[in-house]
Structure 1
Amino acid sequence: MKHYYFSLNISYQAYLAHYSGAASSILVATEQGLRLQLPASRFRPFLSQIGVKGRFRLITDQNNKFIKLEML
């Protein structure tokens, strides 16, 4: 398994624009300097009234297939 760490700070309104179809994915920069594109829907469990804010860990298999996204 591979682990990628990144921080995200998206306002509630900006997230709704992403999720509603204006843009269906979110581009993040990992702490290792990689750029990852993830479906906006993967962040829905972490959405609050202030948006999506925090540090996250993305876990993938060896073929970079999504396994789990966690807020740390």
Structure 2
Amino acid sequence: MKSILVDLHISADKYILMYQGVAQNVFAHALDGRSVQFPAKILKPFLLKDGVKGRFRITFDDQGKYKGIDKIK
């Protein structure tokens, strides 16, 4: 499986707006410089009162289909 690493710092208020549909996708730059886009809903398990913060590994298959996400830092 392929993966990509992203550092995220999303406030709780901003995440709630994304999750409610104002902007349903997160746009970020991976640590290797690639631009990535993924659904905000995959971050829900990591939402704390101060938002979503940390380094995450997003895994996907050879066709680019999402397989999972893990917080690594």
TM-score of the superposed pair, with normalisation by structure 2: 0.95
Could you list the runs of 4 or more consecutive aligned residues of structure 1 that deviate by over 4 angstroms after TM superposition?
A: none
1:37 Cα shift?
0.7
Equivalent in the alignment of 1:46: 46
SS at match of 2:67: strand
Deviation track 1:11-32 (CA, whole Å, cap 9, x = no partner) reads: 0001011111111110011011
Unmatched 5+ residue regions in structure 1? none
1:3 Cα shift?
1.2
Matched-pair identity in %: 35
For 2:33, the aligned partner's letter is G
Q: Distance in 2 between matches of 1:33 and 1:61?
A: 20
Equivalent in the alignment of 1:35: 35
TM-score of the superposed pair, with normalisation by structure 1: 0.96
Q: Distance in 2 between matches of 1:50 and 1:43?
A: 13
Aligned length: 72
Unmatched 5+ residue regions in structure 2? none
Q: Distance in 2 between matches of 1:68 and 1:49?
A: 23
For 1:23, the aligned partner's letter is A
For 1:6, the aligned partner's letter is V
Q: Distance in 2 between matches of 1:24 and 1:6?
A: 18
